[in-house]
Structure 1
Amino acid sequence: MSRQRAAAIAALALGAGGLALAVVVAVQDFPRGPLALVCVAVAATAAWYGLLRTGAARGTALLVAALGVGGALALLAADRPLEEALVVAALALSVVAARAAFAVHTHLPHRPAPQRPVLFYNPKSGGGKAERFSLASEARARGIEPIELGAPDWDLERLVRDAVADGADGLAMAGGDGSQAVVAAIAAELDLPYACVPAGTRNHFALDLGVDRDDVVGALDAFVRGGERRVDLAEVNGQVFVNNVSLGLYAEAVQRPGYREAKLRTILGTLPDVLGPEGTGLDLRWTGPGGHEHRSGAAILVSNNRYRLGRAVGSGTRPSIEDGLLGITVAGAPTGRGGRGRLPQRPWREWTAPQFEVAADHPVPAGVDGEAVQLEPPLRFHIRPGVLRVRVARQHPGASPSATLPDGLRQSARALARIALSNEPTTKES
């Protein structure tokens, strides 16, 4: 039996068993279950109210939220703690098994390896991963010239263009996603192969390209024993980004001093100033998929292809970076003009489009691949389909973790059943 087939069987069995046990516990614990849900609702409302306030109002609301969570836990654990723990464990293990069942390895087409590849690396990125994994010496052992970004005033674009002028025919970057975007943009412009080395902190782009984020050194093999495919890049006002551009709450937070040292505290401190009753709000105007103009809610996220959001398996990843479309997500409740075509009142609304524009009456704070910038309005986003030649090491997946994931729970169950009944491993040709 293949590993994926075993994982699919385990996911179905654990999921079905966990849900069945949950129904039994809910029936036998009535009315504790509904009361616990009321406590959770009160806690969530109080927490959101508190996050949008400061001072005593915030403290009081968060205390109410904590009491609500405590009440829910007390009700649920009062009688059958073992059964409830089993429900949680079974469902959690079902998700883990489903991830393993949907794991994919893409067979990327073979292309001749570059003869003079160059690796640019930031020694401080990712807490010093480049030094910890001896990337420079590992690169030399593979015939790749390493170039360290060491000077305080280094200009990455200039270094890359100088290297190309000296004969470099392959470009790799070991650093954060902001640096990846600079190198990727030049590689696309000159039609040179590019490799993403996951030496940053989170390495979102590497994950969605199918690079194993835990194998920093192995990513160098893209220029030795790698396959190649073309993926999209996106732009806002001429600036390339590989992941996303955030406007609104997160963008306001990354502009503030101290964000890098205390991200969560900075975001919590930004909430009342932007969305609270005394907040300045977000004066951004955009047109939705129905053709009507709206004003932003809490935040706008424009991504290089669509992200999966709000799902247990594969959430926060992009199934593909070669669909030729921007992913657009508006969080919060936007206001619209006119009744027809108005966006529904949901926590977020998402759609795809090849272009998107945001208007404002002032420079707009933005987070471009996590870097704080100010953009002059109007903000014009567009996708650049298939412009980047990406190389990925043969031993790495070569595709996003969500590349083969169905969108819904029912579709996921059916797909797991098909895998459980088949002996074929999940592969994807590119």
Structure 2
Amino acid sequence: MTGPTPSLARRACALGALLALAAAIVVVVVAAVRSPWQLVLAVVLLVIATIAAWAALVRHGLARVVLAIVAVVALLAIIALPELRTYVVLPLVIGLMVLAALAARVAIGHDLAHRAPADRVGPARHGVLLMNPRSGGGKVAQFDLEREARSRGIMPVVLRRGDDLRALAEEAAQHADVIGMAGGDGSQALVADVARRHGLPYVCVPAGTRNHFALDLGLDREDVTAALDAYGEAAEHRIDLAVIGDRVFVNNASLGVYATVVQSPGYRDAKVSTVAGQLPQLLGPDSEHFDLHYRGPDSEEAAPADIVLVSNGAYRLDRLSGFGSRARLDSGALGIVTVSVDRARDLPALITAELTGQLARYPGYRAWQAEEFVVSSGQSVVDIGVDGEALQIEPPLRFRILPGALRVRVPLDAPGVAPAAAAPSGMGEAVRVLLRVLVGRPAH
């Protein structure tokens, strides 16, 4: 497949991105040539700081304090190296890389993205939008969605405290020809399931906190009101849904470290401190692997994992701190990622991969796709986070994909592309694509 010939503006941005990248490399090389021994020392100090910082996270008491001091001292020592001038070189390199990334984004545009087949459809005649006024810190009220919906001829159904969202959605589905949800991803999944069961087109309005589902649908998460345009003339296409047992989810289900942390009562209000408090028990030197058993991509019983992520479509993961995005939602397969950590050996490698955005290079990382996936355990219940909601489910946990199960409507002028779909996979591909744009050839 080929895209349009790049405009002069895009070609200029490609040139700017390549020049900024080259300049960053030159700055690093010059610094290395001027003071090679200090560069080696800086690398050693950075390794010490990384190992000490991670070790501090997974230990208690005095050991945590001492290791944190070691990490800070090592970082300060890097900054203080006289000839390397890290305090000048590092901000300059970071600035050039940011400039290169921004210019590359404009140059490449959406040319690399997979475009799901879509039909242009007419306006809804009896559109219904369910709203959770508590989601996203009150975005329903902030964007006055109830009034905006009525002005477009959409019937708003506002969820009150104590209401059963599924019951309201089932009732709305009896007379709606298009149904939607303004709320978080857990609510999106529930109403999407009702739409699937009734064969109705679905509209996602990103009124939650993170809105990962909206992101991968290609919606503008900052312009919440614009999503209502999907009730007018819109593009409609089919996407997959994932199921654990009989519960539908639109994003992902996680087991292991993350699932245990989100069970903590204080997680939503104090994420950082909750994670810091839980890590010593979960990944510390005396902790045990999670009691999770499953078969890997070779159908053999896999080694124990500390993190298991099962998603509706494969995620492009650079770091564990954010679940990334998916290039497509119509692949017909679950995305499965497992991460195993040898407490004594692997922690420095894991934190390095996390900091550099190279998670796939970590030795304990595995990723594959499947239509079904089963996790068993000797525990009576297993902690699991499903679309951000903390649950406990009796094993075995049976996951499966429902290919093309949901008809989704998006506005005709929506961006229409998830970040993972538009971005090159790695520096090498990015340079190759930018060179193609620079000489006037389509990026893809």
TM-score by length of 2: 0.88
Q: Which amino acid aligns with 1:147?
A: V
Deviation for aligned residue 1:4: 3.6
Unpaired runs of 5+ in structure 2? 1-6, 344-359
Which of residues 107, 117, 126 in structure 1 aligns to 2:136?
A: 126
Q: Deviations over 1:155-193 (max 9, x none)?
A: 11100001112x111111111111010011111222211
Matches within 5 A, 1:18-417: 18-75=24-81, 78-79=84-85, 81-104=87-110, 108-150=118-160, 152-165=161-174, 167-310=175-318, 316-333=324-341, 346-362=363-379, 363-417=381-435
Flag the 1:407–1:249 CA change in 2: closer, same or farther, 3 A.
Answer: same
Flag the 1:46–1:236 CA change in 2: closer, same or farther, 3 A.
Answer: same
Flag the 1:265–1:423 CA change in 2: closer, same or farther, 3 A.
Answer: same
- 1:236 and 1:172 mapped to 2: Cα distance? 22
Unpaired runs of 5+ in structure 1? 336-342
Residue 354 of structure 2 aligns with which residue? Answer: none
Which of residues 3, 8, 19 in structure 2 aligns to 1:13?
A: 19
Aligned CA RMSD, in angstroms, stands at 2.4
3-state secondary structure, aligned to 1:285: coil
Contact 1:245 1:302 in 2 (8 A): yes
Flag the 1:73–1:296 CA change in 2: closer, same or farther, 3 A.
Answer: farther
3-state secondary structure, aligned to 1:291: coil
3-state secondary structure, aligned to 1:247: strand
Percentage identity across aligned positions?
44
Residue 356 of structure 2 aligns with which residue? Answer: none
Deviation for aligned residue 1:371: 0.1
3-state secondary structure, aligned to 2:406: strand
**Which has the larger displacement, 398-407 or 177-186?**
398-407
Contact 1:25 1:84 in 2 (8 A): no
- 2:218 and 2:250 mapped to 1: Cα distance? 14
- 1:231 and 1:79 mapped to 2: Cα distance? 52
Equivalences, count: 415
Deviation for aligned residue 1:78: 4.9
Flag the 1:6–1:347 CA change in 2: closer, same or farther, 3 A.
Answer: farther
Deviation for aligned residue 1:407: 2.2
Q: Deviations over 1:74-115 (max 9, x none)?
A: 238753643443222111211222233333286943023321
Contact 1:247 1:366 in 2 (8 A): yes
- 1:207 and 1:272 mapped to 2: Cα distance? 33
Flag the 1:232–1:334 CA change in 2: closer, same or farther, 3 A.
Answer: farther
Q: Deviations over 1:175-232 (max 9, x none)?
A: 1111010011111222211111111111111011000111100100011131111111
Deviation for aligned residue 1:52: 1.3
3-state secondary structure, aligned to 2:294: strand
Flag the 1:76–1:397 CA change in 2: closer, same or farther, 3 A.
Answer: farther
Deviation for aligned residue 1:406: 3.1
Q: Which amino acid aligns with 2:96?
A: A
- 2:82 and 2:204 mapped to 1: Cα distance? 47
- 1:295 and 1:226 mapped to 2: Cα distance? 47
